[in-house]
Copies of this chain bind each other. A is one copy, B any other.
Amino acid sequence: MQEITIDYALRATWQSVARMYNEEAKKFGSTMAVGFALLSIDPKKGTPSTSLGPKMGMEATSLSRILKSMEEKGLIERRPNPDDGRGVLVYLTPFGLEKRKDSKDVVLRFNEVVREQLSDQQLNAFFEVMETINQVISEKKIYKNESTTN
């Protein structure tokens, strides 16, 4: 536990990014999570709320509350999906579209600045490591307590 662990580096770095994103979002009256949601919604057509969780890297169930608050703030509208009685289609309002641009700027700038400091090799390795971690977890290579078939 002496050296820096992978999980620590990942956690500390992400939290650092999250604090910065929230700080920036606050400048235009938003939050990081709302910004990510806005960016995950197609600005031109209705987006099935089902697709938002994966696009934001979170569980689908975690979205309900945030979509509700976004609707209350007038950022989005939720309309029934004509093709699926269970589903919902999310639409950006003009106000939401505006805030989406603000969020997009922040995200683009961050990614751009970071990319400038990295070589292709480093960047590729980074994405490979992310993928490896996700695989290790989804394949339950670590804790096989439950069952090997799952």
Q: Using Cβ atoms and an 8 Å threshold, which residues of chain B touch A136?
A: 110, 113-114, 117
- Interface residues of A toward B: which range? 35 or more
A24–B110 CB distance below 8 A: no
A14–B11 CB distance below 8 A: yes
> How many identical chains are in the complex?
2
A133 an interface residue at 8 Å Cβ cutoff?
yes
Q: Using Cβ atoms and an 8 Å threshold, which residues of chain B touch A134?
A: 12-13, 16
Q: CB-defined interface of A46-90 with B at 8 Å, one 1/0 digit per residue?
A: 000000000011110000000000000000000000000000000
Report the separation of the CA atoms of residues A24 and B104 in the bound assembly, to the nearest whole angstrom.
35
Q: Using Cβ atoms and an 8 Å threshold, which residues of chain B touch A39?
A: 1
B107–A7 CB distance below 8 A: yes
In the assembled complex, 24 residue pairs joining A and B whose CB atoms fall closer than 8 Å, in A order, are A1-B104, A1-B108, A4-B127, A6-B115, A9-B126, A9-B127, A11-B36, A12-B57, A12-B58, A13-B130, A13-B133, A14-B14, A16-B138, A20-B142, A106-B143, A117-B135, A118-B132, A121-B125, A122-B125, A122-B128, A122-B129, A125-B125, A125-B126, A125-B129
